[in-house]
Structure 1
Amino acid sequence: MTETPLRASKHAPIFVTVDLVIFTVRQDALQVLLIERGNEPYFGLPALPGGYVREGETLDQAALRELSEETGVDGRRLHLEQLRAYSDPERDPRGRIITVAYLALGPDLPQPVAGTDARAAHWMPVASVVESASLAFDHSVILRDALERARSQLEYTTVAAVFCTEPFTVGDLRHIYEVVWGFSLDPSNFRRKVTHAESFLVPTGGRRYPDVGRPAALYRRGPARLLVPPLLRSGDVTRSSSMPVAPFPLPSV
């Protein structure tokens, strides 16, 4: 059987970009790093940092470069993972551009420094950004997806400890869960769960001595990456009645 050669199809060029959702906990709030766009389209609007993948670059290399160029943040210090690809043909007015979004997490990251095509870079509370939905391109959708990924990761992995500067206390870790999930947790039940989770926390032998109250044991992140057993938002960790539930709404994805 003779094979018929495939006829070359005419199509518009497709470009690939990376966009980064960078979360940290600052001033007792989950915050996201945004830039102010210095070019069209969407000149002057807030956006996630990102840019085109260059020839010869992997996606990971492009993400690390864009982090450094647009914000001055060293991505090697962060937990960095691919979120998903976004390919709506109308997502970018410049043409057919597919973006691969990354989720990055880090402890109390410093004030960013804008560079290249970003007019400014700053941290913003996630709650206010989600409510405003005023980001350039489809970045509001990407942000909501990343927020749900981060919340889910805290249930099934040990990534919450990435937000903590070592050494840290169980109280420090609980604060991360409360800030990211958006509700208060029962301290005793939380302590029991995390200290019994397999290889989640490793005691350092040190203690923190507060001005008031009992000394608190210090820990570092253990070798486990999966949380066994998981801590589920659905009620596996008892919520405290001293704080209202969900100070900002859970996104639908």
Structure 2
Amino acid sequence: MSLSRDTFGNRAKEQDELEKKLSSFEKYIQSTFAEFIGTALFTFVACLAVSSRDVLSIAFAEGLCIALLCAAFVNISGGHFNPALSFAAAICGAINPILAVLYFVAQTCGAMVGASFVKAVILGDSYHILKGGANQFRGLGVPYDPYDSFHHLNVTPVTAIVVEAILSCLIFTVYLQANIDKKSRSSMGPMAYGFALIVAIISGFHVSGGSFNPARSFGPAVPSGYWDQHYIYWAGPYVGALVSGVMYRLILGDGKKRLIMRD
């Protein structure tokens, strides 16, 4: 009788250990790999889309790609593919700080891999003309196309940071409410995330270059060597992430996540 109890106890203990290992694998390894591969695919699509030299084409390519990838991975990693968004999610309590750091490493490495594949398929002068698909600051009279005088906007890098911050806040707020919040999240959350990115790119492309994602900007900057005003694409999105995360944590979040009048 005691032998059978010991056997049952050992099996239960082994089952608990297996479940813990599986939980750790899914929480850290599987989710981090999902962010790596998702960011690599997104960056590849985003950088290739720049070859169209058309804002609508770029916006829809990036927005629809992020929506599809988010739909595929939202239940595995959250479907961020953006270190600034992961920062906002950490502020909200949706992911822990350790996971946010792992996501940051995975996303930046994934972006470099995706951008490197772009360099492999677009050769010679064509690659350098496109600057590898890197985001380009359009202000100070710098046009997207030298023949397009309409877009000679007189804006400064500070203005571009403000635009990146505001539009990043828009994207991240939509993501948090549509994908994390228990009251308002829905199966359309990934699509809402994608369309928010489309709106932001169309609005901000001719000012800042329309990044809203430090990894998407960092990835192509490495193989192309194009670092002009690169700080814009870190400062703006992280400010937007801070604002959206704090708003959610204090006021907009559900009863368990918000800090004011919580359940």
Query: Normalising by the residue count of structure 1, what TM-score does the alignment of the two structures yield?
Result: 0.26
Q: Tell me which protein shows more strand as a share of its residues.
A: 1
Q: Tell me which protein shows more helix as a share of its residues.
A: 2
Higher RCO, Cα 8 Å, sep 6+: 2
Query: Normalising by the residue count of structure 2, what TM-score does the alignment of the two structures yield?
Result: 0.25
